[in-house]
Amino acid sequence: MIEDLRAIVGPAGLLIGADIGPRYLNTRGRGTAGRPLCVVRPGTPAEVSRVMAACHARNQTVVAQGGMTGLVGGGAPRDGDVILSTERLTKIEALDRDGLTLMAEAGVVLQTAQEFCADAGLELPLDLGARGSATLGGVISTNAGGVRVIRHGMMRDNVLGLEAVLADGTVLSSMNRMLKNNAGYDLKQLFIGSEGTLGVVTRAVIRLKPRPKAIVTAFTASRSVADVASFLRHLQTEMGAELGSFEVMWPEYDAFVRARCPALKPPFAPNCGFTVLSEFLCGSAGDAEPRVEATLGGALKQGLIDNAVIAKNERERAAFWTVREGAGEGMRTLLPYFVYDVSMPIAAMESFGDRVRADIATTYPNSTVLVLGHMGDGNLHVVAAVGSGAAADHRAVDDIVYGIIRDLDGSVSAEHGIGVEKRDYLGWSRTPAEVAVMHTLKAALDPKNLLNPGKVL
């Protein structure tokens, strides 16, 4: 097998033994990586096809890897797997200023693609914390969302065309560049969010947006989740599609930041309630801030918020975002902890926040539970530090969190996918009929079960 692969990709494209560095085995604490047979690094999409055909001929299992930032162990190899890394598929092929599209290979790093588009005065509609390592193929395969979903949707909404290599090496090229194409089934959707189990994404056409003329960022505080939800509705009504982010933090998160993250400076006094970072991507520059101010003023008058501040400059804007995204140092003081990424109807969020804190505290009285997330997308994150990182405790907390989600008709995975970590819980968010159709699709496209086996299903 190794010689077959070396013949396709050349010596530079193949790693074995001690040359397989930690990058390929990093599970981010989600399970343990097995011992892969080798790492194959094709330099072109055509080589991906030849690699897959060679593996198919020998019934060899393959796991695709992009930047290895995934948080559910989806890219982790099992014993004997071939790792197919897209790290050499880094060609940006074309940027179409009229059609507003970017055509690029799967291994292009998200931030590289963002900067390439920004240089042309355009915006790639996806942004997330892992931008410096995550690849286009990875964000497509996990249907990533990020902090602009309320404005631009998830990757599924922004991929116009895609090329994937199937388990037997067949190249399925659907490199559509139009917004509208209803000629039969939309096959590209099969590969978006299927975490490398149905095909290897090699190239894509991504929809671009004009860059906003002005960005206005606000921090507010409200007394209850119900007020936060009403505030969100108010912003959607008054600012329309200009609302780009709406990030809510439960009161315990604010207290945690003050206690454990000395470098972060929350803008309000302690005990200010539920805080929200909202950001507006405005189509006009001159009146952007006054319009946001007037909208926040309306919310104050209606009692939906009782405190508000607008970032006066880029430094303040960055400081606001750091409160939301930069708590890593404080988080480390909580270790070990378990993180969750779940979604539910907005109307269920208050109940979720109350129950998750109460139910974990019942079993683990000295636990710390933080709740925060992208409320506008129905997506909340939970950080639970229960004083133990043991597998049995992880399982017990999973059961609590996902049990509440099942009761509330939510999803056990809002963003990061299923991978290995959430496999046992797929049926808590999907009906038996849905899971059966997933198996049917998998069997149709990969009858030998060679692509990323043991993941998702």
Ligand X SMILES: Cc1cc2nc3c(=O)[nH]c(=O)nc-3n(C[C@H](O)[C@H](O)[C@H](O)COP(=O)(O)OP(=O)(O)OC[C@H]3O[C@@H](n4cnc5c(N)ncnc54)[C@H](O)[C@@H]3O)c2cc1C
Label residues 396-421 b or e (16+ Cβ within 10 Å = b).
Answer: bbbebbbebbeebebbbbbbbbbbbb
Q: How far apart are CA 83 and CA 2, in angstroms?
A: 12
Stretch that binds ligand X, among 132-140, 226-234, 243-251, 315-323 (CB under 6 A): 132-140
Binding test (CB under 6 A) with ligand X, winner from 100, 124, 200, 342: 200
Residues 346-365 within binding reach of ligand X (CB under 6 A): none
Nearest to 39, CA basis, from 56, 23, 58, 59: 23
Name 201's Cβ contacts closer than 8 Å, sequence gap at least 6: 64, 106, 137, 140, 141, 162, 163, 164, 191
Residue 196 makes contact with ligand X by CB under 6 A: yes
The nearest distance, CB 373 to ligand X, in angstroms, is 9
The nearest distance, CB 46 to ligand X, in angstroms, is 15
Residue 117 makes contact with ligand X by CB under 6 A: no
Residue 132 makes contact with ligand X by CB under 6 A: no
Per-residue contact string for residues 407-446; x = within reach of ligand X by CB under 6 A:
--------xx--x---------------------------
Binding test (CB under 6 A) with ligand X, winner from 15, 25, 37, 139: 139
The nearest distance, CB 401 to ligand X, in angstroms, is 18
Name 29's Cβ contacts closer than 8 Å, sequence gap at least 6: none
Binding test (CB under 6 A) with ligand X, winner from 10, 21, 80, 129: 129
Contact indicator for 71, 446 with CB cutoff of 8 Å: no
Q: Which is nearer to ligand X, 144 or 319 (CB)?
A: 144
Length of the chain: 457
DSSP state of 375: G
Per-residue contact string for residues 249-288; x = within reach of ligand X by CB under 6 A:
----------------------------------------
Q: Which is nearer to ligand X, 63 or 296 (CB)?
A: 63
Pairing of strands 101-105, 82-85: unpaired
Residues 55-94 within binding reach of ligand X (CB under 6 A): 63-71, 74-75, 86
The nearest distance, CB 443 to ligand X, in angstroms, is 18
Contact indicator for 215, 280 with CB cutoff of 8 Å: yes
The nearest distance, CB 127 to ligand X, in angstroms, is 8
Please give the structure tokens belonging to residue 353: 């926040």
Name 174's Cβ contacts closer than 8 Å, sequence gap at least 6: 161, 162, 163, 187, 188
Binding test (CB under 6 A) with ligand X, winner from 27, 49, 135, 278: 135
The nearest distance, CB 446 to ligand X, in angstroms, is 12
What's the first-to-final CA gap in the chain, in angstroms? Answer: 27
Residue 380 makes contact with ligand X by CB under 6 A: no
Residue 212 makes contact with ligand X by CB under 6 A: no
The nearest distance, CB 375 to ligand X, in angstroms, is 13
Stretch that binds ligand X, among 97-105, 138-146, 218-226, 293-301 (CB under 6 A): 138-146
Q: Which is nearer to ligand X, 128 or 396 (CB)?
A: 128
Instruction: Give residue 396's Cα distance to chain centre.
Output: 25
Q: How far apart are CA 213 and CA 223, in angstroms?
A: 33
Contact indicator for 44, 180 with CB cutoff of 8 Å: no
DSSP state of 61: -
The nearest distance, CB 306 to ligand X, in angstroms, is 28
Q: How far apart are CA 248 and CA 361, in angstroms?
A: 22
At residue 73, φ and ψ (nearest 5 deg) are 75, 20
The nearest distance, CB 184 to ligand X, in angstroms, is 23
From the CB of residue 279, how many other CB atoms can be counted at a distance below 10 Å? 24
- Sign, CA dihedral 334-337-343-347, equals negative
Residue 9 makes contact with ligand X by CB under 6 A: no
Residues 140-159 within binding reach of ligand X (CB under 6 A): 141-142, 144-147
The nearest distance, CB 73 to ligand X, in angstroms, is 8
Residue with the shortest CB distance to ligand X: 138
Please give the structure tokens belonging to residue 457: 């299903």
The nearest distance, CB 38 to ligand X, in angstroms, is 16
The residue ranges that bind ligand X (CB under 6 A) are 63-71, 74-75, 86, 106, 128-130, 133-135, 137-139, 141-142, 144-147, 195-196, 200-201, 415-416, 419, 452, 455
